[in-house]
Amino acid sequence: MFNQNRIYRVFQLINYLKAKPAKSVRSVMQFLDTSERTVYRYLDMLKDLGFKIERDSGNRIWITTNGNTDIVPFTDQEADYLEKLIKTTGKSNKLAESVLQKVRLSSELQIGANLLFKAHLGHIVEQISIAIIEGRQLLIKNYLSAHSQTISDRIVEPICFTDDYESVSAFEVKTKQNKYFNIERMAEVEVLDSNMKYEKQHEFYKPDIFGFQGKSLNKEIELQMTMRAYLVLKEEYPMSTAFIRAIPDTGKYYFKANVQSYKAPGRFVLGFLEEVQVVGSKEFLRYIQRMVKKNP
């Protein structure tokens, strides 16, 4: 497995050296909290990636940022390797843009922004990985729940990441339930000294397109909607895109999928009662009718 912390530091260093003014080696050591020898190893790595490291008379260094120096040809093998590095960290961020631009211009690989990582998420992914590897409990600080719209701390036992590194499957100690936690909604995480205690209760099921996990996708959702509702659904739940098609000559869109829970699609429909029509499943229609009566 690729070293996520090392990748994160490389992207940090790229961004740091591109910002004026030029930096001394000592300041780079302090920035990365590492040794002089390690700094030079990172600089050699950047040179291998094609970055031009400049030095002034005081031996201060920076990365040249003119248009020509940021375009370096990658072989297919190199581009594939770089894609794997980025996928390992998972989220989107401008820190990676200078490297990714070379890949986009020099290979046929298409790397979506959702495969990169945001700056503050690199450390979070690393800490979650440590907790998984070392079998320790994890404190998620100020987690924003999309379901309850609350912010709270959660103690969990992380099991594994989803394939796209958007979420982590974990056993929540307080509720004694296996849940998915979206990494972008975590303010911070802390690996605790306490070891995992509930391994026998750990279960992993792939989430549905709305992020709910369970043993079976036994609830059917079938909708017709306006373009505005379609755009919101696609933006809030990107995995729904594969289940949506345009209805010819109507300006409307059709959506059909099996899910674990009615909660998230139910909230979506309630937010667009004038623009979404429930078709197909009578069970889901009755669920919506109950919710409308409960929240007139």
Both 185 and 269 in one domain: the answer is: no
Domain extent, residue 269, equals 219-294
From the number of C-beta atoms within 10 Å of its C-beta (0-12, 13-18, 19+), residue 135 rates as: exposed
In-domain check, residue 211: no
Statement to judge: residues 9 and 107 lie in one domain = yes
Label residue 190 exposed, middle or buried (CB < 10 Å: 0-12, 13-18, 19+): middle
Residue that has been written with the tokens 């030029």 in this structure: 22
Residues 35 and 128 placed together within one structural domain of the fold? no
User: Based on the domain organization, do 15 and 81 belong to the same domain?
Assistant: yes
Helix, strand or coil for residue 45?
A: helix
pLDDT at res. 156: 96
- Rounded to whole angstroms, the Cα distance separating 113 from 94 reads 9
φ, ψ of residue 71 to 5 degrees: the values are: -115, 110
For 14-35, letters b (16+ CB in 10 Å) and e give bbbbeeeebbeeeebbeebeee
> Which CATH number does the domain housing residue 165 bear?
2.30.30.180
**CA–centroid distance for 9 within its chain:** 18
- pLDDT 10s per residue in the chain (296 long)? 344 456 666 766 777 787 767 888 888 888 777 888 888 888 887 777 677 888 888 888 888 754 444 444 455 555 556 555 554 544 444 444 445 555 544 443 333 333 334 445 667 887 888 888 889 999 999 888 766 667 889 999 998 887 666 788 899 999 998 888 888 788 889 999 999 999 999 887 667 788 776 667 788 999 999 999 999 888 888 778 889 999 999 999 999 998 888 888 998 998 899 999 999 888 999 999 998 888 76
Given 97, 115, 133, the domain boundary residue is 115
Q: Which of 48, 82, 115 is the last residue of a domain?
A: 115
pLDDT for position 179: 87
- Which of 149, 175, 201 is a domain's end point? 201
C-alpha to C-alpha distances, 189 to 49, 100, 154, 170, 198, nearest whole angstrom? 32, 28, 9, 13, 20
Whole-number pLDDT of residue 213: 66
How confident is the model at residue 109, as a pLDDT?
A: 34
Residue 109 is assigned to a structural domain of this protein: yes
- Per-residue model confidence (pLDDT) at position 3: 46
Same domain for 234 and 155, yes or no, is no
Using CA atoms, how far apart are residues 293 and 211, in angstroms rounded to an integer? 26
- The total domain count for the chain is 3
The answer as to whether 286 is a domain residue is: yes
CA 169 to each of CA 128, 158, 174, 177, 231: distance values in angstroms, whole numbers, following the listed order:
11, 6, 15, 11, 28
Cα separation, 104 vs 128, in Å, equals: 30
pLDDT score at 138: 96
- Same structural domain for residues 100 and 128? no
Instruction: Compute the radius of gyration of the chain from its Cα atoms.
Output: 23
206 in a structural domain: no
Q: In this structure, are 234 and 167 located in the same domain?
A: no
Is the pTM value of this prediction over 0.75?
A: no
248 and 283 in one domain?
yes
Residue 208 lies in a domain: no
Q: Do 283 and 261 fall into the same domain?
A: yes
CA distance 81 to 75: 10
| Helix runs in the chain, H state only | 4-18, 25-32, 36-49, 76-89, 97-106, 119-134, 227-236, 263-271, 282-294
Same domain, 261 and 180: no
- The reply to whether 39 falls in a domain is yes
Q: How many residues make up the chain in this entry?
A: 296
The amino acid present at 42, given as its one-letter code, is: Y
Classify residue 32: in a domain, yes or no. yes
Q: Does residue 171 sit in the same domain as residue 191?
A: yes
- Give the domain CATH number at 279: 3.30.70
CATH label of the domain that carries residue 16: 1.10.10.10
One domain, residues 55 and 102: yes
pLDDT value at residue 84: 56
Q: Is residue 40 assigned to a domain?
A: yes
Question: What pLDDT sits at residue 120?
Answer: 59
